[in-house]
Amino acid sequence: MYKMIIFLSVLLSFGLKANESLDVNYNNMKLGVGYVSSLKENKEKYLESQGFEFSIGYKFESKWLLETGFTDFTNKNEIQPNDIFLRSKKNWQVSDYASIYAGFGLSYLEDNFNPTINMGINYHLNNDWYVDVGYQSLISNRYDDVYSFLISLNYNFSVRFKEEQSSIYYEPISVIADTDEVNISSSEMNLQEKKSKKYYDYYVVIKYDNLTKIGKKLNIPLGDVILANPQLSLRNRSIDLIYPGERIFYPIKQ
């Protein structure tokens, strides 16, 4: 069992290492604990086991989740269901608060690898916490059918591999001088040129963001945020409909 824990940890670490070059701007890690019930079905009888599941996972671009962990059952029977697992899940957002998922994985059960299929729904309580209600089917030659039902509470948090470098640029505004205007000293001209430039930085959208919330975070009026992002008005949808990973520009002072 300890060899399997090391093996799965190495797999998860490999996934993290492969993404070190990415800028992480969302909660990309999760920890979970929950209740699980497993049922073995055959022609003669049903055998049920109940216990707890502990997991840690890494999210790829907020759509794919790779998680590993172990299941600890309080009542053991001939299934001997305590196992270590590795699962992958693809998420589809269906509303602001809910997403569905489906995926596959491996379960290490009684010194054997068994493929698994899983599906379920996540209900997001806020940016950091969500409830996972899922179903898993274990495919095994040793058992007829083994089904598992899981309900867990999960905590999202962020691990940043590479600090995002600010991309500040300026937009020069041409100033047309009046031909009747008196000569201005070079120092005054430099001051006017500096005032005519607008400087911008950008903010990377995370889940549940909207323009009003972003304006409050940055302490910038909503009108200034809208004016700094003319690309939003070119879309055939509400300008307030933005997606995680999208860049929202805002004016800054120099």
Phi, psi of 237 (to 5 degrees): -160, 175
92/144 same-domain check: yes
227-235 LR contacts (CB < 8 Å, sep 24+): 228/200
- Judge whether 192 lies within some domain: no
Q: What is the pLDDT along the chain (254 residues), one digit of tens a residue?
A: 444 455 445 444 544 444 444 444 456 889 999 999 888 776 667 778 888 899 999 988 768 899 999 888 776 555 555 678 899 999 998 887 899 999 999 888 777 788 999 999 999 888 789 999 999 988 876 666 778 899 999 998 876 544 444 444 444 444 444 444 445 455 555 555 555 567 888 898 888 888 888 988 888 888 888 888 888 877 666 777 788 888 899 888 76
State how many domains the chain has.
Answer: 2
Report which secondary-structure segment, H or E, holds 66: strand 64-73
Range of the domain at 233: 200-251
Q: In this predicted structure, what is the pLDDT of residue 32? A: 94
Among 157, 189, 219, the domain boundary falls at: 157
- Please report whether residue 164 resides in a domain: no
> Could you give the 3-state DSSP secondary structure of residue 194?
helix
DSSP state of 61: T
Q: What's residue 75's pLDDT?
A: 63
Question: What's the confidence (pLDDT) of residue 225?
Answer: 87
Neighbours of 166 (CB within 10 A): 8
CATH number at residue 55: 2.40.160.20
> Which of 157, 184, 211 is the endpoint of a domain?
157
Q: What is the reported pLDDT for 90?
A: 93
The answer to whether the Cα torsion of 199, 219, 239, 241 is positive or negative is: positive
Q: Is residue 55 part of a domain?
A: yes
Give the domain-ending residue among 128, 157, 186: 157
- Alpha-carbon gap, residue 45 to 40, rounded angstroms: 8
In a domain, 182, yes or no: no
Q: State whether 36 and 153 are in the same domain.
A: yes
The verdict on 143 and 55 lying in the same domain is: yes
If you ran DSSP here, which 8-state letter would residue 9 be given? H
Angle formed at CA 210 by CA 208 and CA 213, multiple of 5 degrees: 95
Domain membership flag for residue 168 = no
Residues 131 and 219 in one domain: no
